[in-house]
Structure 1
Amino acid sequence: MTEYLSLKDHVYNYIVEQINNGKLIANRKVNEVAISENLKVSRTPVREALIQLSSEGLLENVPRKGFVIKKLTKEEAKETYFIIGVLDGLAASLSAALLTEKHMKEMEFYIQSIDLAINTENFQMYHKMQEAFHDVYLSVCPNRSLVNLLLKSQKKFLKTFDHSGQKEEVKKKLLETNNEHRKMLDLFKSGDSAGLESYMKEVHWNTDKIELVPL
């Protein structure tokens, strides 16, 4: 069944995409009129989407200026990374017992796809496949409020990485991250919920990785 999207949802997704591909830049004002004209919608759903994004921490409503893309400080990024690690680890541990063989094969497929994307320097595909990997276990997590809170926190890191320089070093780090996905899959297969939760919090979402995040 196709999920119905309201005008506000369409505008929301459009703005998120613009942030993700770097067309909307931190500390820059969001042009409400341009968005309204591009999508051929009134200003009302645009304003509603901006208010939602502001409540989620992606935008900031600056007096006499309007909505601007919020730029995270290093400290804010580390704090958010820690929160994501706790939430993602807990979500994974709650999902472990509910995963089927089909789910395991799907995660294995995405791991292989991520390797291919990195080695061919298709970084846009890398981000899509990594998101798909995590979506496998998040889709069966019984605590939907937890998942929604996790996804809301992750949106603060929407913008894709800048891979224009030092590609070999970036590829090495991304391959290391994908090896962490392999370890996670092994823990899922063994049913080690406690080990999985600890690994994701202390390793996969280790705050030392902030240098890879575009702020």
Structure 2
Amino acid sequence: MKKYKTLKDHVYDYIAEQILEGNLIPSQRINETAISQELSVSRTPVREALIQLSCEDILENVPRKGFVLKGVTEKEAAELYTVIGTLDGTAAQASCDTLTEKDLKRMEFYIQSMDLAINTNNYEMYLEQQELFHQVYIDQCENEILSDTISRLRSKFFTRGYSKDRANKNEKLLSQINDEHREILRLFKEKDKDGLFSYIVNVHWSPSNAHHELL
């Protein structure tokens, strides 16, 4: 089941979107007042969201400057891929027997939506549909700690400096990644737990792919 979103969650999502769209860059100070005014909320949920992002190592609270956006090095990205891949593969194994036909059809829909996003150079749509694709089985793994940990680690890639220009230059790469989604779906349909884990760890989240700067 999806959690009810608090004001803090909505502020968190807003800041994440700003980072993904390139409106915030590493070392740039986060303007709490501007966010509060933009979302018509008090400073409290804004502060709570910033503290959460700081705890997740996405932001850094710098003395006399406030919260600033951190970056992710290539080495850190490769290490994150290793850890996230193992956790994502574990979630896939755990949910393999619980996914319904409706869940599988939703995953197929998200794959088709990603194809459309690639063809129309809609990078934001691609990222959104990709997250929804993975979230289908992560939500069904029946392990809230595992699900929350994957979400927290994936959020570190907010700071990789995504941009529409980069997406346009990587249409072939995005298509390749979406083909991986098709293979993941096939393995789910086959209920191949070992194959799922191996493919997600060794292919989809292979550390060698970290330099692609794509989720």
- Structure 2 length-normalised TM: 0.90
Rounded to whole Å, the distance in 1 between the matches of 2:81 and 2:170 is 19
How far the C-alpha of 1:9 sits from its partner, in A, is 2.9
Secondary structure of the structure 2 residue equivalent to 1:161: coil
Deviation at 1:4? Answer: 5.0
Tell me which residue corresponds to 1:15. 15
Q: Distance in 1 between matches of 2:107 and 2:2?
A: 24
- Residue correspondence of structure 1 range 2-81 to structure 2 within 5 A: 5-81=5-81
Q: Deviations over 1:84-136 (max 9, x none)?
A: 11111110110001111111111112112211221222222211211111121
What letter matches 1:18 in structure 2? Answer: Q
Q: 1:17 to 1:190 in 2, by over 3 A?
A: same
Q: Which runs of 5+ in 1 are unaligned?
A: none
The residue number in structure 1 matching 2:178 is 178
Note the C-alpha offset of 1:2. Answer: 9.7
Q: How many residues align?
A: 213
Which moved further from structure 2: 204-213 or 40-49? 40-49
Give the structure 2 partner of residue 151 of structure 1. 151
Q: In the superposition, relative to structure 1, how do residues 83 and 36 fare at CA in structure 2: closer, same or farther (>3 Å)?
A: same
Secondary structure of residue in 1 paired with 2:126: helix
When residues 4 and 207 of structure 1 are mapped into structure 2, their CA distance, relative to the original with a 3 A threshold, is closer
Mapped to 2, the partners of 1:63 and 1:70 lie a distance apart of 15
Distance 1:9 1:198, change over 3 A: same
Measure the CA separation in 2 of the matches of 1:83 and 1:12. 23
* Conserved 8 A contact 1:163-1:170: no
* C-alpha spacing 1:39/1:113, structure 2 compared with 1 (3 Å): closer
Letter in 2 for 1:157: F
Distance 2:96 2:2 in 1: 28
Task: Find runs of 4+ consecutive structure 1 residues off by over 6 angstroms.
Answer: none
| 2-structure distance, mates of 1:3, 1:188 | 25
Cα RMSD between the aligned structures?
2.1
- Deviation (angstroms), 1:211: 2.3
Larger mean CA deviation between 15-24 and 92-101 belongs to 15-24
Q: Percent identity over the alignment?
A: 52
CA deviations over 1:129-156 (Å, ceiling 9, x no partner)? 1111112111211111101100010001
Distance 1:125 1:70, change over 3 A: same
